[in-house]
Amino acid sequence: MVTTVKRSKDFIKRKIGPQYVIVAVGAATKRFNGMISVNGTGSFIWDMLENDITLDELVKAITDAYDIDAESAKAHAIAFLDTLKGVGAVAE
């Protein structure tokens, strides 16, 4: 079975000056009241998580958009997804 991930509707991305942040909204603020600062690649990944996507599809999108090899893209994607999962911003 292939696992997909999708971002939670309880979190949103906002641009504050030149920086993007992901913050909880509504009831999710009781579980997580901080923010996750993301760079352009993190913002790209967040946008890709709007719909269900597999890790392989996400890695392909990253390697197509950026000058990075698949192994590095996968490692960075997994680390970022783990951070997002840790605060409840994505679900499998």
Per-residue pLDDT of the chain (92 residues), as tens digits, is 568 999 999 999 999 999 999 999 999 999 998 999 999 999 999 999 999 999 999 999 999 999 999 999 999 999 999 999 999 999 87
Give the amino acid at 13: K
**CA 1 distance to own-chain centroid:** 22
- Kindly provide the residue ranges of all beta strands, DSSP E only, lying in 1-92, ordered along the sequence: 4-7, 11-16, 19-24, 35-38, 53-54, 90-91
pTM of the full predicted structure? 0.91
Among 66, 19, 69, 7, CA closest to 41 = 66
Whether the Cβ atoms of residue 87 and residue 31 lie closer than 8 Å to each other: yes
Instruction: List the structure tokens of 46.
Output: 């967040």
